[in-house]
Amino acid sequence: MSWSPDSVPERRLDIRVRSNRGTIQIVNRTLQAVELTGAGALLFRAMDGRRTVGELAGLLVAEFGITAADALTDTTDLVTGLADLTVIDHAGSR
């Protein structure tokens, strides 16, 4: 499933999340791990099942002063990667 600016990512319930000094460590149900810092950590914290990919990208624009196009690309890349690791789903898809 692809991600559009109107897609809403939400965290899966079967992951483990640990936050330590600005870094987020996530372990999925198959024990694959990912570590997020900086922009990735900011976006993951904001994935509440209500914000769209476009709204999440807006957080990057506000926080880092990058262009909206770059922020959307970065956000889409992150949610695609997290979905591939079964860390997030499209909201309402379960």
Query: How does pLDDT run along the chain (94 residues), one tens digit per residue?
Result: 799 999 999 999 999 999 999 899 999 999 999 999 999 999 999 999 999 999 999 999 999 999 999 999 999 999 999 999 999 999 976 5
State the burial class of residue 1 (Cβ atoms within 10 Å of its Cβ: 0-12, 13-18, 19+): exposed
Tally of domains within the chain: 1
Q: Which DSSP helix (H) or strand (E) runs through 26?
A: strand 23-27
State the burial class of residue 58 (Cβ atoms within 10 Å of its Cβ: 0-12, 13-18, 19+): middle
Residue 30 and residue 13: Cα distance in Å, rounded? Answer: 13
Residue 94: per-residue pLDDT: 55
CATH number of 80's domain: 1.10.10.1150
Residue 2 lies in a domain: no
Residue 74: per-residue pLDDT: 98
Residue 70: per-residue pLDDT: 98
Residue 74 lies in a domain: yes
The domain containing residue 46 runs over which residues?
Answer: 9-90
Residue 30 and residue 27: Cα distance in Å, rounded? Answer: 8
Residue 3 lies in a domain: no
* pTM of the complete model: 0.93
Residue 1 lies in a domain: no
